[in-house]
Amino acid sequence: MKTGKYKKYAFEKLPYDIQDKVCEDFATVNLEEDWWDSIYDRFKLIAAFFGFNVDLKKTYFNGFYNGSQASCYTASINIIKAIQCLQQKQWEKQFPQESLHIGDCDFDSRVVSLIERGFITGSGNVQPSDRESSIFTELRFKFPYNNCTNYDSIERELNCIQDDLIDLALTLNFWLFTSLRKEYDFLTSKKQVRETIINAQYKFNRNGEQL
């Protein structure tokens, strides 16, 4: 019986249809452990700019392009910093390349001043939902009702501030998910998979099986 070694082929020497098959087989070659770290780090930086102190150890995401795709995170919120950032639209200069779709926030300057001077205290946090498929934002404000002559007006304005901060928390979560998906799409793209295979100098038989 005739014996011998298989003939080895570099990826680029394979027929195009076999190259396509190899790319499908190696679709996850670039998804190394913790491939999402750079996105997480960027997310923490952006969130901190808005006064959200994110705990990356309690930040999660599910797979893409399936029914359960989602992201969520855990964070404490610096209420004053978040309000000031939204008022002054500071993110537009700090992160001009990021897709942060944040609307105008017209807060009552008198209520904001009460918060900044400590007459109204506030705290907040973001938590993952039970199934880690969304986030829940909790905000609390306290002020001396008995010494307040315009309680209803303040309460309405605090509700508006609360709504805007909840929207901000959701916007940050949307940025996190879309950025992760974009990175996933890039790493698993045919172009990137091809480059990795070629640079690694993998060898194949004529059927596209790695040797």
Question: In angstroms, what CA-CA distances link 42 with 45, 70, 120?
Answer: 5, 18, 32
Per-residue pLDDT for the chain (211 aa), expressed as one digit of tens each? 344 466 888 988 899 998 899 999 998 899 887 899 999 999 999 999 999 999 999 999 987 776 667 899 999 999 999 999 888 887 888 887 777 788 778 888 888 888 888 888 889 999 998 777 789 999 998 887 666 667 778 888 999 999 999 999 999 999 999 999 999 999 999 999 999 999 999 999 989 888 8
**For residue 162, is it within any domain?**
yes
**For residue 20, is it within any domain?**
yes
**For residue 208, is it within any domain?**
no
**For residue 122, is it within any domain?**
yes
**For residue 44, is it within any domain?**
yes
What angle do the packed helices 37-49 and 151-187 form, to 10 degrees? 160
**For residue 209, is it within any domain?**
no
**For residue 1, is it within any domain?**
no
**Contact (CB, 8 A) for 154 and 111:** yes
Domain of residue 44: give its range: 9-202
**For residue 106, is it within any domain?**
yes
Domains in the chain, number? 1
